[in-house]
A = this chain, B = another copy of it.
Amino acid sequence: MRILLADDHDMVRETISAYLESKGDAIVALATDIDGALRTIRDAGPFDLVLLDYQMPGMNGLVGLSAAIEANGGKGVAILSGSAPAKTAQEALKLGAIGFIPKTMGAQSLLNAVRFMVAGEVYVPVDLMREEATPSTHPLAEKLSQREFQVLEGLCKGLANKEIARDLDLQEVTIKLHMRTLCRKLDAKNRTQAAMAAKEAGLF
Interface residues of A (CB under 8 A from B): 8-12, 14-16, 18-19, 22-23, 57, 82, 101, 103-110, 139, 155-158, 160, 188-193, 195-196, 199-200
Contacts and interface: CB of A to CB of B under 8 A. Distances in A.
Given A12-B15, A158-B188, 4 more contacts: A10-B105, A12-B103, A18-B107, A199-B200
Given A82-B9, A82-B82, A156-B196, A107 B14 contact: yes
Contact of A158 (B15, B19, B101, B196): B196
A105 B15 CA distance: 11
A124 B105 CA distance: 29
Nearest to A9: B103
The majority secondary structure among interface residues of chain A is helix
A203 to B, nearest CB: 12
Contacts of A104: 8-11
A199 B195 CA distance: 10
Contacts of A155: 192
30 contacts: A8-B104, A9-B82, A9-B103, A10-B104, A10-B107, A10-B109, A11-B103, A11-B110, A12-B15, A12-B103, A14-B106, A14-B107, A14-B108, A15-B107, A18-B19, A18-B22, A18-B107, A57-B139, A82-B82, A155-B192, A156-B196, A158-B188, A158-B189, A158-B192, A158-B193, A160-B190, A192-B192, A192-B195, A196-B199, A199-B199
A158 B190 contact: yes
A10 B196 contact: no
Contacts of A196: 156, 158, 195-196, 199
A172 B174 CA distance: 30
